[in-house]
Amino acid sequence: MSTIDSTLTSFIDIKADSDFSIHNLPYGIFSDTKDSARRAGVAIGDQVLDLSVLESEGLLSLNGGPYFDQSTLNAFIDSGRDNWTKARTTIQSLLSSDNSDLRDNADLQKKALFKQADVTMHLPVQVPGFTDFYSSKEHATNVGTMFRDPNNALLPNWTEMPVGYNGRASTVIISGSDIVRPSGQLKPNPDERPVFSACQRLDFELETAFVVGKGNHIGQPIAVDDAADHIFGMVLLNDWSARDIQKWEYVPLGPFNAKTFASQVSPWIVTMDALAPFSTACPIQEPEPLAYLNEKDKESSFDINLSVELLPENAKTATVICETNFKYMYWSMAQQLTHHTITGCKVEVGDMMGSGTISGPTPDSYGSMLEIAWNATKPVALEGGESRTFIEDGDTVIMKGYSEKDGVRVGFGEVRGKVLPALSFDFNE
């Protein structure tokens, strides 16, 4: 765990409740109305600092660069930890209140600083592969209770290894994108054949995802105590799910079309260096993991407050329907990455790996509508008088996350998506 330098301040006016303090400096890819070219920036308060400008001005010089006048962060991330550290240290210094290089240069500020409200955010990395885990014990227990024997809610393998599946990198999308309701095979009547229909049980899943910062060679697993060196940072993830499609298709090979239509992420990658002061222990793991999963570092989780808001179309106010914390996750990111590679599976820079739905111990901390409305048996009341059992057309789902300690806040911003009606299909034409 690193300490927080609470004396570090920026010359930029930053609200106390901002996710983007000088202690954070998350990386993203943006464009603006005057310049459509995509390039790298960091969030600071309500602004974006253009790193490509700092590079061109000679204020941010990294080994092997330039890196930031590019449409993704992959090359910078791939350049290694020494550059990650140097970039963070340099940017933090340039934004600090006691450094005049940027503080006293109005022309440079005009070129390098943009209001977040005036820019368009894009996927921060090219995503070679996407994997989604299933690592919340509370979530897995809730789902097992609903659909299996409550006394044996967890399958025998769940407490032995981080369970997951390989998803679709091609449908990892950025916050603000619309979500078209998926269609597929449903089986509403167990005694009849399936039907083709729009999904009737569309759900969100509150997750985070980590971004792989260092790959491995095929055939060479990543040791659990080395895994942290292979993780660059984290984003928020809404792993949109079609529950009724999933129910029919998942046996025997697991999620397929129910999970392929949208995996939505926040635009800012919060680095592990920024999150380090908020590290905490994972829950007690019983039985003790097999040796290859047994970490020396017992504080490999993070205290990250998470929430979900639901905003119906034409509603004035969103309703907070979930408040939970990343620290409830049973399996750590290091354990997930190690298990993923234990067969020799190759991972690459930019790969994203979802945590799985993050649920806490109480109903108000459940991380999916499936759980919150308990398989549609307990409708959720919303501001304005509406209620929901699953997500309806026109609804917007908003996820937020932040860590806070000693007056310092490090946040993710939000991931937001609005649901549009399913496409019409006429197969007889």
pLDDT in tens, the chain (429 residues): 677 888 899 999 999 999 999 999 999 999 998 889 999 999 999 999 999 999 999 999 999 999 999 999 999 999 999 999 999 999 999 999 999 999 999 999 999 999 999 999 999 999 999 999 999 999 999 999 999 888 889 999 999 999 999 999 999 999 999 999 999 999 999 999 999 999 999 999 999 999 999 999 999 999 999 999 999 999 999 999 999 999 999 999 989 999 999 999 999 999 999 999 999 999 999 999 999 999 999 899 999 999 999 999 999 999 999 999 999 999 999 999 999 999 999 999 999 999 999 999 999 999 999 999 999 999 999 999 999 999 999 999 999 999 999 999 999 999 999 999 999 988 776
DSSP-assigned beta bridge partners for residue 302 = 279
CA 373/CA 381 separation, integer angstroms: 10
Q: Please report which helix (H) or strand (E) contains residue 145, including its range.
A: helix 137-147
- Mind listing the domains of the chain with CATH numbers? 27-122 (2.30.30.230), 130-420 (3.90.850.10)
pTM of the predicted protein model: 0.97
Query: How confident is the model at residue 352, as a pLDDT?
Result: 98
Residue 76: both structure tokens together: 């910078």
- Pairing state of beta strands 263-265 and 172-174? parallel
CA 60/CA 375 separation, integer angstroms: 52
Instruction: Assess whether the previous peptide bond of 287 is cis (omega < 30° from 0).
Output: yes
Query: How confident is the model at residue 35, as a pLDDT?
Result: 86
Sequence-ordered list of residues with C-beta below 8 angstroms from that of 235, at least 6 positions apart, any chain: 124, 208, 209, 211, 265, 266, 267, 268, 269, 270, 352, 412, 415
DSSP-assigned beta bridge partners for residue 309 = 320, 398
DSSP-assigned beta bridge partners for residue 415 = 399
Residue 102: both structure tokens together: 């940027």
Catalytic residue among 23, 122, 139, 339: 139
CA 79/CA 213 separation, integer angstroms: 9
State yes or no: is 139 an active-site residue: yes
Query: How confident is the model at residue 425, as a pLDDT?
Result: 87
CA distances from 348 to 96, 116, 131, 212, 342 (A): 34, 30, 12, 7, 15
- Pairing state of beta strands 130-133 and 352-354? parallel
